[in-house]
Structure 1
């Protein structure tokens, strides 16, 4: 039976914070969105300074080797010959000609990458990339990829879901806590607590449904999880419309003052919707979330005796040739599959252990990140100049210059942004390097829970040759390296 929801916010309120909270809530009563969502897709191309941009949603990051080859061909024939991996495990093609949209759509349809034209921008589903490929705490991990396939089918069949923003995100976590930390709007987390009589990989195990960043959640049977996630998204649309906020994401809902529906009210509305749909759920007031890390680059031993290979793209960008090395490797496995990760990496599962080390060496030689010891590991960047009109600097070149001057790996992830929008920045603890002008940056350290000001610096990288985009900025490299080793505060 569905447990009764509390009449007020399930999160205890610190009365000392009440005035500040009231002021914050009053500030968000006005609509936060006054225009439609212009998020790019595979069919709605975005006009960038370096040509058109197409963003292809890949639920759970899954691609067959044939689909991967189609994308490599599209990048070469229609774009700039590269594929960008986004922070949601999607793939972007850049440098597309204005008139290539029809040809690109035909290629994607033919490869089975666009199951629904009306839903193609809302298929934002991330899932634990190593789900089903390794063991967690001695147990084979839950295959959250199965959840993702089912949710994608339900999503594409939902008339209401077409109204979701291209930014609304589902995260399906197999219990390790990796994608649960990505700040999704709807999260499914496989449960591994003592209340489950059997391991959660069994059919009928438990899952926790979380709304936004609420600490509370709804505990339900894992077989109901994909349907519950869709109902939560559809309920969000109803609540967002009632709020008059124009919200695209859960965090944009008004904070629940008077009759304004906020995230806590959304959770109660979702509970009611699940009950109407016959899905039994139990309210959990304070649910713990494991703190899992992204897959490390290298080899991962699978329970079936095969090996999964984990690699990362330098600054999230792969050439068509690098991409083909991965798709060719996948084609030689029984699975014939690639998994693109939200940390701008790629997993190739099902490899023969005898061939895995040689493949890893070839990928390292081709310029991919294959070891945690690489100085490139954990370094990300937006497009910057000259591809983005809003960027204030050539961040990729400056990031490359800083890595070349500081070859010591490790520390917090660092993300270089061409402007204050910080497109593609990671969740959780990280270093922000934000351009404030041509070659000038502000560096700050973000805590896991709150923004901190542990390290703040403004430095300038002096370019010696803007045509080759080299930099000579030891102060910048040193400041970034220092920030990456700064202890986080909460």
Structure 2
């Protein structure tokens, strides 16, 4: 079913894929797109082996719930073939780029879910790969399905989002364009029309967008939302709505053990420090999934993973063994709240060694008893975080950062608070701010 990589089947893009390995300072990057963030333990072991044999061994959990292998050398074809043999590739070569569909990591097991989004997700992913016109979508064009789960990433903007809600005892899909489920919806459709909605929106986008308009937000800068919806109404029946908005639960639900909708079962969440795993960590987590769970792992937009369907009585042992593998399972650890891009060691645009600086900052904050959500970015592109973090450090030189605090009234990273700070100065300032009664 999987095709061998064919170079002329892939359009030019700076984004890595499974079939397109993109060069970086530390070697090639291969991105493995996971359906709904899920991977079997057998497949996870195949990723670990591929990283071990054909790269530096660096594996990354991404903020779109995918995996990346970094540091790939000259054996690119062997690496790709090993991943295809494990069933991790697209249904056809041209469909690799467009497999951009985000689900809640707890889809189908979350106690607050209104429905299981996975059947619809499988149908949408098949259409994205096999409907040839959709191969013209950008490798960054993305769709989100939210089933009302407590554990859901609601801050990442998507070109199209669908969010389940209840109105008059009927579950429907609210939907929106170029935003997040916490925005005011553009409209709603019946539950059975979810797939038709995605197809209609994507086909209309491709008909209207010029080649340089690769994202929905680019198109909506020329066409108003009202104009787009009026054209959509000719293809699909939907209801206008402005009186509903999605609320967000605490994201700490992705760390530690949490009860599932299924009685007697929990999922166990663990963070890979700064999104990095080595083959032993991934192989060990896969073994735990086989031994105590259902033989699958789920990666999350918080660069963490879940082991679903673990029996209550085994939760403590699974947590302990994950920690022995160097995963983080305690939300009180400062490092669980840190996000950092590859930095200058692997990216030519990075102005600082962000991962090393993040480790230093986490250690300093832990001494002060703080676990703050901090994002360290080596350049303004913000590759490591699709959302705006409460605190952002933007590198200006090795070991020096401008400090921003999130402010809804300010564009970009938010309000600039201080310039050209060392990591020690950042820690001192954040400690003082956390102790201030004005920020309580």
TM over 0.5: yes
Secondary structure of residue in 2 paired with 1:77: helix
Tell whether 2:358 aligns with 1:385: no
Q: Give yes or no for the alignment of 1:197 onto 2:154.
A: no
CA distance, structure 2, for counterparts of residue 215 and residue 182 of structure 1: 15
SS of 2:336's equivalent in the other structure is coil
SS in 2 for 1:397: helix
Listed one character per residue, the Cα deviations across residues 62-87 of structure 1 (whole Å, up to 9, x for unaligned) are 11111111111111111121210111
The equivalent position to 2:201 in structure 1, one of 232, 236, 244, is 232
| Unaligned residue ranges in structure 1 (runs of 5+) | 1-34, 199-204, 275-279, 462-472
Q: Please state if 1:339 is matched with 2:295.
A: no
**How far apart in 1 are the matches of 2:255 and 2:76?**
35
What residue number does 1:166 align with?
139
Write out aligned runs for 1:277-356 (5 A): 280-294=237-251, 295-304=253-262, 305-333=264-292, 335-356=294-315
C-alpha contact 2:107 2:149 (8 A) present in aligned 1? no
CA radius of gyration, larger in: 1
Give the C-alpha shift of residue 285 in structure 1: 3.5
Instruction: Give the match for residue 109 of structure 2.
Output: 133
C-alpha change, 1:480 and 1:398, in structure 2 (3 Å) is farther
- Runs (5+) with no aligned partner, structure 2: 1-10
Q: What does 1:418-433 align with in structure 2 at a 5 Å threshold?
A: 418-433=378-393
Within the candidate set 393, 416, 419, 2:376 is matched to: 416
Deviation at 1:271, TM superposition (A): 3.1
Relative to structure 1, the CA distance from residue 430 to residue 453 in structure 2 (aligned partners, 3 Å threshold; closer, same or farther) is closer
Q: How does 1:436-455 map onto structure 2 within 5 Å?
A: 436-448=396-408, 450-451=410-411, 454=415
Q: 1:398-439 deviations in whole A, cap 9, x for unaligned? A: 111111111056565211111121212241452111100121
Matches within 5 A, 1:42-441: 42-97=18-73, 99-114=74-89, 115-136=91-112, 141-176=114-149, 178-192=152-166, 195-198=167-170, 205-213=171-179, 215-241=184-210, 246-255=212-221, 260-274=222-236, 280-294=237-251, 295-304=253-262, 305-333=264-292, 335-407=294-366, 408=368, 412-441=372-401
Q: CA deviation at 1:164?
A: 0.8
Q: CA deviation at 1:286?
A: 4.7
Residue by residue over 1:354-410, the C-alpha shift from the partner in whole angstroms, topping out at 9 and shown as x without a partner, is 222011012123221102111112101000021111111111111111111110565
Q: Which residue of 2 aligns with 1:457?
A: 418
Deviations, residues 134-170 of structure 1 (Å, cap 9, x unaligned): 312xxx5422223222211121121111011111111
Gap change, CA 1:235 and 1:51, over 3 Å in 2: same
- C-alpha displacement at 1:122, in angstroms? 1.2
Offset at 1:270? Answer: 2.9
Contact 2:292 2:318 in 1 (8 A): no
- Distance verdict in 2 for CA 1:487–1:332, change over 3 Å: farther
The whole-number CA distance in structure 1 between the counterparts of 2:84 and 2:353 is 35
CA distance in 2, matches of 1:130, 1:324: 22
Shift of 1:453: 5.2
> What is the CA distance between 1:52 and its match in structure 2?
0.5
Sort the Cα spacing of 1:334 and 1:443 in 2 relative to 1 into closer, same or farther, 3 A.
closer
Contact kept, 8 Å, 2:177 with 2:216, in 1: the verdict is yes
Change in Cα spacing, 1:372 to 1:261, as seen in structure 2 (3 Å) is same
In structure 2, do the counterparts of structure 1 residues 370 and 487 end up closer, same or farther at CA, with 3 Å as the change threshold?
Answer: farther
Q: Do the aligned partners of residues 488 and 95 (structure 1) sit closer, same or farther apart at CA in structure 2, a change above 3 Å counting? A: farther
- Secondary structure of the structure 2 residue equivalent to 1:347: strand
Cα distance in 1 for partners of 2:119, 2:209 equals 29
State how far apart, in whole Å, the 2-side matches of 1:175 and 1:229 are. Answer: 18
CA contact (8 A) 1:443 1:480 kept: no
For 2:436 and 2:80, the matched residues in 1 are separated by 46
User: With structure 2 as the length reference, what TM-score do the two structures score?
Assistant: 0.88
